[in-house]
Structures are given as C-alpha cells and as structure tokens.
Amino acid sequence: MPQLFIRKTIFIEKSVVDVFKLINDFHHCPKWSPWLIADPKVKIKVDPDGKYYNWESSILGSGEMSIEHEQENQSINCDLQFFKPWRSKAKITFYLNAKNSGTEVVWTMRSSLPFYLSWMKKQMHVFIGMDYERGLNLLKDLAENGKNMCNLNFEGIITYEATHYYGFKRKSSYSNFKIEMAHDFKELVPYMTEHYKELVNGPPFSIFHKFNVVKGRVNYTIGFPIKYPIASSNQRYFVGSLPKMRVHSIEHLGPYRHLSNAWAAQMMYQRSKQFRPLKKIAPFEIYLNNPSDTPEKALKTKVMFPVR
C-alpha cells in the first residue's frame, strides 16, 4: 500500500516541561487540535488519565488515539485509528528538544493509504502536512499565551447581497501569496481612500479564483465593495460584481496566521456534504476590521463558500 510520512516542526518559547504537559494529556487536545476545532458539536471521550480519547462527528468522522509509550519531556508515541469516513491506522510521534530558551516540537506520522486511494498520495501528503502546521501553530499559541488565539463562529448558510467592487487581480505562488496580498492591500487601501473614499460600500475582501496547494498556484482578486459601477481610469484596476447568493459562512476571530483553520473547516464541511458548493463562483474572505488599528486577537474575518 502507498506509504505516507509527515514531519512538521515548530519552535515554542516555553520549556519542554510546559509543552510536554499539553501534548501528553489528551484533555488539552480540543484546545489545539487542527481537526476538532472544525466541529463544535464533536463528541469526545477522554480517559481520566488523559492517555486515550475517541471522537464521533458528522463532520470529522470517528476514530480513537492512545498513548502507547512516552519518555518524560522527550517523546510521545501514539496509535491513531480512523473508523470513518474510511478505516486506516497511523503511528504518531512527538519529539521535544530543548533549544535556547524554548522547545523544538517535531510532529510525525507514519501511515498508508488503501490501494484505491493511491492516486491521492501527493494530495494527502500536502493536506495532512498543512493540518500539522495548523495544529502546531495552535499549540504554540496555547503554550505561550495560555489560551487559544483562534475562534470560529459557524454561521451556516446565509444570504450574501449582490455587490459591485473595485480592485485588481494577481497570479501568485502558494509560497508567496500571503506576502503579496499584504503588499497589495497596502497599495489598494490608500488608493481607494485617496480616489474613491465616498464610493466605498463595505469592508475589503479577497476572491480566490484558484487555490491549488498541490501545484502551488493561487489566483486572487482583492477589492472594495462600491455603491455603483464606475469606469476605471487606472489600467491595473477593474470593476467587477458578485451576485446575490447563498453562502456557507464561517467567521474567524483572531490573528490572520490562523485563518487557514476557517478554510480547512469549510473544506471539511463540504467533504462531509453539509452543503453543495456553487462551483462557478469562487470562495472569498471579508476583512471586517483594520489590522493597522485592531489587536490581532480581535481581528474578524468571514470566509464564505457559495452554495447551491
């Protein structure tokens, strides 16, 4: 069967003693799991000693995980089993290495795919790797700040009103798009303030026409809603529109570095058939407050997937 090996690393500015306590007791798992965060209704049962837990969810499927062996403040070995949406097993290991004033955490997984899913090996490697990165970032915040810095509000299916917008498109690589988007907004916001301040009709947003992490391609539009369409005098900019439609909405509260949790949750809801995507219209983000004058923990962003 096709073999999978995932290895992701992060540095946490806390002692190995502090970090070890968060990982080797599954009572803490809901606070930093990159999967459990996607379903507030998930049913979790944790043994009193914190060494075993299982879950059941219409979004996440079901499974169980147990700690088989641990070396205090050094490593933790776990057995992971999935029952739904398909049966599989994995060996999970955490390594903790004291470095400078903190801890390097290494999270690995060894598993295999059923033969009928062998064509998904590359995708699974990328997507699970992204899950691990999301989880390690949540663990880092929990260890360093004592709390979860990412909160998701599942608004469900709501109506998005039709709007015109003014903005521009860019093709980017996955590795660079966050930097390029930040640069683009630093250009767009003052431009709109200078030329079309009275025309702006809501907070800025991004539309993701293509988001292929396997091939490393991202095509997006950034823009501001406007009260009515205009003729653009700048060749870089254009006027577009979004129709009135139904969307599946998840509101993200917290730093932008955790926004991928809202996107991952949307994909989990779509895969579990909680909604049917409207493929002819791309998903988009709406930035409800200004990062230049808003604390990171108070940033609000809506991630919306058009639905049929």
Sort 206 into a burial class: Cβ within 10 Å, 0-12 / 13-18 / 19+: buried
| CATH of range 3-147; options 3.40.50.2000, 3.50.50.60, 3.30.2030.30, 3.30.530.20 | 3.30.530.20
Instruction: Give the pLDDT score at 119.
Output: 65
Domain ranges of the chain: 3-147, 155-307
Instruction: Give the pLDDT score at 167.
Output: 94
Instruction: Give the pLDDT score at 112.
Output: 79
Instruction: Give the pLDDT score at 256.
Output: 96
Residue showing tokens 């997937």: 305
The model carries a pTM of: 0.93
Asked if the domains 3-147 and 155-307 are classified in one and the same CATH topology, the answer is no
Closest CA to 22 of 81, 94, 89, 80: 94
Q: What is the CATH number of domain 155-307?
A: 3.20.80.10
The series of mean pLDDT values per 10 residues for the chain, 308 residues long, is 88 97 96 96 97 96 97 97 89 96 96 70 84 97 94 97 96 93 94 94 96 92 95 88 98 97 97 95 97 94 98
Instruction: Give the pLDDT score at 4.
Output: 86
Burial annotation 36-65 (CB, 10 A radius, 16+ → b, else e): bbbbeebebebeeeebbbbbbbebbbbbeb
